[in-house]
Every structure is written in C-alpha cells, then in structure tokens.
Amino acid sequence: MKNRCPKCQSTNLIKRGFRYTEKRGKIQRYSCKNCGLRFIINDGFKKMRNNPQKITLCLDLFYRGISTRKIQEHLRAFYPHNSSNVSIYKWIVRYSKMISQFTDNLKLKVGYELQIDEMEFNRRKSHNKKLGNEKNWFIDSIDKSTKFIVSSEYFKSRGQKEIIEVLNKAKKKTKNQIKRVTTDGYTAYENTIRSSFGLVQKNKYFGVQHNKVNASKGDGFNYTIERLHNSVRQRTQSFRGFHGSIESANSIMKGWEIYYNFITKHQTLKRCPYELATDLKLNSENRWLELIRLAITN
C-alpha cells in the first residue's frame, strides 16, 4: 500500500531528510508535492518514546507468560532506558486493540464445525483492591479443523445477548462455511444459535445443526475448545484481576487471541492456525511488529 499525505491524501510524495529522535533513532521524513506538508509516516509508533522492537518484545514476553514487573526487570538489565510496568501494561492494551481491529476483518477459510464455550473470570471492580472482585465471562468460538479462534469477547455476564454477539461475529467471518455448532449443555445456546445461524429443522436444511455435548451425562467433552481453555487458564492465572477495567480486560484477551492465532505454533498442527484459516502471509520473525504495520496500513 502506498504512503499518503495525511492532509490531502496524495501519493505524490518525495523523501525530505530525516527526523532524529533519542530513543527511536533516524526516521524518514516526507514532503507532499501537492500541498507542501512535511511529515513522517505513522507506522503505529508515532510519538512513542521507545523503539518498536522494544515494545513488541514486551508484548511477546507478556503473552509467553512473563508478568509486566518481570519484564520491567528484564528491561532494566538489558536496556539503559528502562520502562515502568505501567507503561508496558499500556502498550499491551493499546497494541492488542490495534491489531485486533485488523485481524477481526480477515476472511476465513474454516471447516464445517464451530465450537463455542465460556470461561468464568474474577475481575477487580476497580484499581482499589478493597472494593473486591466481580464475576465476568470470556466467551469464545473456535474452528475445530484449523484450531483458529474465530471470535471472542470478554463480558460482565453470559446472557443470550452476549452469546449472540460472539456468534454473530463468527457468522460474519465464516459466511456459510459452518454446518454444525457444538456446545455444552447450557440452555441459552439453542435460542442464540437459532438467532445467529438458524437451525436445521426436520427435512429443511437451512441453518446449522446444534450438537450438544453434556459431559455430566456421559457425552464426552469438546476437546478442541477445552484444550484451548486450559491454555487460557494457564496464562491468565497471574493477571491479577485485569487491574479493574472491563475495557482493558477485553483488550488483553484480544491480545491473547492474536498470540494464539498468529504468533505461536499449535502443537498438533506444527504451524500457526492463521496459516490454515487465512490467506495472510507473515514473513517477519517479529510477527507482532508486522501485524501492527498491517493494522496501520489497512
């Protein structure tokens, strides 16, 4: 995608020297031949006081299981200009949200079965620990074939409205590829699936089949999504109540979805889920950085 002038949107640009910064080094400056504006391209790190490699390093370490305070100790040991754990937390929230706005609009190539489930979380009501915690829910859906997390959201409750929001996003991203939706025995699923996908009725084959798997009745388990939730629990047990904000909790969980789909290889697939579910080609070893730049230019 060609660079554009932020004022007149022209692509008739020429390079016009550099801007020298203390922390990010030399940055190319451009001049618009139509309106004369001199500017630098927003690569996702405009006005940031730290370089992109350092910021994306922190994102990667966090989603690989390192706390923000431990990351701060790492920076203190290896980087002269240290960053606080609060800054690291803000980077995680900011860039997880930025990337998700790009990845949520990718066209998907998935199998015929979608599994959906929910997880319970305890989140601080505010930054003040004395106010206690409240019960929240992480609702997500995964394609059984590619192991790609299709849609997910973090909510205060798990009513029909919240489940429908997740299912509608899954329907929008998968079009007519899904033929069966598998859930546990929670009674709210039937009406929500009917509302989002439609259900197969008698000999009328519109909509999808609803496959209920009730473990308490000996039906077995939805292994694909249960294994995913085991990984989520393992990582989120040290999140310390998401610091009291429902918005930042959702952004952090969006970042975990990005990490699962685009950054780390699935043990069974021997590749990242996005390689099977999308046409996206990521060529850099630093996929966080590449995704940020794609999010800015698309």
In the beta sheet, which residues pair with residue 15? 30
* 221-260 burial code (b ≥16 CB/10 A, e <16): ebebbeebbeebeeebeebebbbbbeebbbbbbbbbbbbb
Q: What is the pTM of this model?
A: 0.86
> What pLDDT score was predicted for residue 298?
78
Residues of the chain with confidence (pLDDT) below 70: 1-2, 22-25, 127-128, 201-206, 216-219, 238, 240-244
Packed helices 68-78 and 52-63: angle between N→C axes, nearest 10 degrees: 140
Tell me how far apart the alpha carbons of residues 35 and 88 are, in angstroms, rounded to a whole number.
38
> What pLDDT score was predicted for residue 203?
57
Both tokens of 236, joined, read 């989120």
